[in-house]
Structure 1
Amino acid sequence: MEEILRRFAQGEISIEEACKELKVESIRKLKDFARIDVNRLHRTGIPEIIFAEGKRSREVADLAVAHATARGFALISRAGEKDVEEVKKRVDEEKVDFEVDYNEVARTILVKKRGYNFEKRGKIGLIAAGTADIPVAEEARVVAEVCGCEVLTSYDVGIAGIHRLVAPLEELVNADVAAIIVVAGMEGALPSVVASLVDVPVIGVPASVGYGLGGEGRAALLSMLQSCSPGLAVVNIGNGVGAGAFAAKCVLHKNR
């Protein structure tokens, strides 16, 4: 897209030709199963993220290589070992100089051209109530970092030992973060507590951690939705991708 705009600015192509090329550039068809939105990052600040669940591993690999070739990187969520193996195999077959990083905890795969760096636009905070909530938190971290955020993390600071929250929260406030993501399972109270103590947006993420009725994240979700602390936004159960993307939008807005 930048190359098309440069050529237009230098008078090499007309506005009609530029518009036509931009339309063609924005969507790329991949075989007979996908259309890649290569300009989503420029348009919205959030790149297209490949959701691996429900896709065949070879489709995930095709998408990853196509995205990384078009824009320098590809991010895959909810990936498994078979997906990683297929992506690495495809990278070797294509003989492209890509790095493949698998975060087993977050279940994400980051494929990028060697030496590709993500521009840092600002800081966010990321808090997990318990150790069991870390996988969702890590998914949010990876997404936020790809979107240009420096992520300051504090894990295992839930309300069962509320004193553990004081120092990490003070650190985040002093760091002037644009938003704070809070992941919590069980009764999901921690996001409300954090939202009552800070003046930045707080994003609550219910985690499917707990016992019996409501233990699959429903109790945490309902608790967050019923919060009496203003300034708390809530995403769906386990939606680290959505939380990371929303926090990145907060950073973009703060920098305007």
Structure 2
Amino acid sequence: MRETLDALADGDLTPAEAEARLRGYATTEAGRFDAAREHRRGIPEGILAEGKTPAETAAMADAAVGSTGRALVTRADDDTAEQVRAYLDAEHPDATVERDARARTLVAHAADYEPPVVDADVVVVSGGTADAHAAREAAVVAGEAGPRVETVEDVGVANLTRVLDEIETLRAADVVIAAAGREATLPTLVAGLVDAPVIGLPTATGYGVGGDGVAALLGLLQSCTVLSAVNVDAGFVAGTQAALIARGVDDPAAGPSP
């Protein structure tokens, strides 16, 4: 504790960084940012923009960059993303900010941020272009945790050849995230072709009854090949689960820090 207080007094730490070290979280008017999550769980804290005002999201992103050197914002619409970017540009002018409009993510890194490196490969495969929102969110989140991430898009099972053309890439993965809507056959099919863990990511794409992702989720829960499934459009959860598996591949003895 004394070391942290001395660093704060010397100006080597910001108040947010000092609070994060002492308490494990940084407090803002919009809420408390879990600055210790990556140390504790091996995955980054995400800032969910849905349900927050742009100002609240920006305040949380500022606390994230200030306490950990990185902010990961999910489910940010264009207006929120623009306001968060403008706020971070003013408060952290040396930070880099990247936006994936399709994934609705925004990632900011401080100039001195050192990203984690995990020696493992995650492949995110999606059935159709309409599934890209969830698949890309998963890819962004997994990548922020350190493993190498590759995406394979638009290989729906209506033409099995498209999947088979990518079989070498899929089989080279240490963990696969398979995103699909409608009846979500793709994850079940992939899980029968690879020896890596497969995380099924159902998406809310399709027609009529069950087209809101329910049919896709139920299809994954009833899969005859072994896989795990996350909730509908839960790209963040799929990405973090894949990252945890990747960490285990990189260092089987590693575990969450106390």
Matched, 1:253 2:248: yes
Give the letter aligned to residue 242 of structure 2.
A
Moved over 6 A (4+): none
1:129 and 1:185 in contact (8 A); partners too: yes
Query: Out of 138, 141, 145, which is 2:139 matched to?
Result: 141
Q: Over aligned residues, Cα RMSD in angstroms?
A: 1.9
Q: Counterpart of 1:36?
A: 33
CA contact (8 A) 2:89 2:95 kept: no
Q: Are the counterparts in 1 of residues 20 and 26 from structure 2 also a CA contact under 8 Å?
A: no
Matches within 5 A, 1:49-128: 49-94=46-91, 96-114=93-111, 116-121=113-118, 122-128=120-126
Q: C-alpha separation between the residues in 2 aligned to 1:132 and 1:169?
A: 22
Q: Deviations over 1:131-172 (max 9, x none)?
A: 111111100010001011211211111110011111312223
Query: Does the CA-based 8 Å contact 2:170-2:194 persist in structure 1?
Result: no
Deviations 1:109-129 (A, max 9, x none): 111113635233121111001
Corresponding residue of 1:27 = 25
| Identity percentage of aligned residues | 40
Q: 1:22 to 1:65 in 2, by over 3 A?
A: closer
Structure 2, gaps ≥5 residues long: 8-18, 253-258
AA aligned to 1:164 is R
* TM-score (norm: length of structure 1): 0.87
Q: Does 1:219 find its partner at 2:215?
A: yes
Query: Which residue, out of 192, 202, 205, partners 2:198?
Result: 202
Tell me, yes or no, if the aligned pair for 1:178 and 1:247 is still in contact at 8 Å. Answer: no
Q: What residue in structure 2 maps to residue 180 of structure 1?
A: 176
Cα deviation for residue 248 of structure 1 reads 0.3
